[in-house]
Amino acid sequence: MNTTVRVARNGVDVPTLFATLDAVKANPELAQFQFRAHNRWVSGTHSRSSIQGFYGAMQEDTTRTTPFVYDADHPQVLTGQGNAPTPVEFLLHAIAACLTAGLGNIASARGVTLHEVESTVEGDIDLNGILGTAPAERNGYTGIRVSFRISGDADEQTLRELIEQSTRRSAVFDVLSNGTSVDVAVDVA
Amino acid sequence: MNTTVRVARNGVDVPTLFATLDAVKANPELAQFQFRAHNRWVSGTHSRSSIQGFYGAMQEDTTRTTPFVYDADHPQVLTGQGNAPTPVEFLLHAIAACLTAGLGNIASARGVTLHEVESTVEGDIDLNGILGTAPAERNGYTGIRVSFRISGDADEQTLRELIEQSTRRSAVFDVLSNGTSVDVAVDVA
């Protein structure tokens, strides 16, 4: 008999979380999502993305009434103006945020109250690849390391298992680890 | 005889761009970079990253005097509060910004003046993977599509080749297409 009391915890509405899982089990089509970004070149290596609409749960989202806007640029040492982080740094934000979001849900589902969660992400890259000065070098990160520091009302093993499960179920971890199909199309105006 | 006049174009200081390439050719160690992000859990699926320091050109950067700060969250339909885009949406910003930054540099190096560059990125994802409702489904995007619309003072083929070269030399395209090693470590406080 399952006697787990399902309550809101860590800012997660656990009953809604389980209701969502039940709804998706009953209708897997609810889990088909499409996310989008729109980017516009500003100048040099500087560009700006808007993120707003997405499709999911069988409808276009209507809850985001204004776009989230993010710039990216190269630092001056890489011929940019340093107006914003580099594109590759947003990958580090994405992996930390994805693992942490999953952790929040998983801890709550398992009845663990989190106190503090911090992570540091490092990505090593040899720019001889993208600069063309050593074309055999790969263009992207040769490796990414995520270091978590976590505290909560559970023993060390239980807390470690939360991160392990979050990693097993992380969308960004999957894409960064395994890659995916990326198609680039061009329309000349 | 190379009679190309190397001038600033598209907001790119082309002489500096070529000087950078020459410097790296002479000392490949200059191209070793490490980028970083620091993330802190806020509540539920909401977290916040700071991006500031990086190592490159054989030294720690000193030009960024304040951190860039970005939140991420799940939308309400995915048990979040919608405070910010989802982690996976930052991957779409990253790929658009990386291809566009490369385009800015490559166009400038080739003497092409860009007028407008826009791109739309779509990423399809079946959340039955991360929800565990269909564990055989992958967690991440099943595919990402980038659609560019570009105008500039060159013929269609030349403009298309700029995007092709930017794709060949894109760090984010490489990571998203091919994956990389991602190590996750945990320190329990």
The CATH number of residue A31's host domain is 3.30.300.20
- Quote the CA–CA distance of A61 and A157 in Å, as a whole number: 39
- Same domain as A93, residue A81: no
- Same domain as A113, residue A77: no
CB nearest to B177's CB, from A82, A117, A179:
A179
Higher-confidence residue of B5 and B30: namely B30
- Same domain as B138, residue B53: no
Q: Residue A185: CB partners within 8 Å, gap ≥ 6? A: B145, B146, B147, B148
Copy the structure tokens of residue A77. 């040492």
- Same domain as A151, residue A99: yes
**How much is the average pLDDT of A143-172?**
98
- Same domain as A121, residue A36: no
Structural domain count of chain B: 2
Note the pTM of the prediction, 2 decimals: 0.96
- Same domain as A53, residue A18: yes
- Same domain as A137, residue A66: no
- Same domain as A172, residue A96: yes
**How much is the average pLDDT of A77-93?**
97
Q: Residue B86: CB partners within 8 Å, gap ≥ 6? A: A35, A101, B72, B73, B74, B75, B78, B80
Interface list for A 53-92 with B (CB within 8 A): 54, 56-57, 61, 63-64, 68, 70, 72-82, 84-92
- Same domain as B100, residue B22: no
- Same domain as A94, residue A163: yes
Q: Is A160 within 8 Å of chain B by CB?
A: yes
Q: For residue B40, what are the β-bridge partners?
A: A118, B48
**How much is the average pLDDT of A118-134?**
96
Binned at pLDDT 50, 70 and 90, residue A1 comes out as very low
Residue A7 pLDDT > 80, yes or no? no
Q: For residue B12, what are the β-bridge partners?
A: B9
Which domain, by its residues, includes B164? Answer: 86-179
Instruction: Tabulate helix, strand, coil % of chain B (nearest 5).
Output: 35, 35, 30
Q: Is residue B99 part of a domain?
A: yes
Chain B residue closest in CA terms to A109: B44
**Is B139 in contact with A174 (Cβ distance < 8 A)?**
yes
Mean pLDDT of chain A: 95
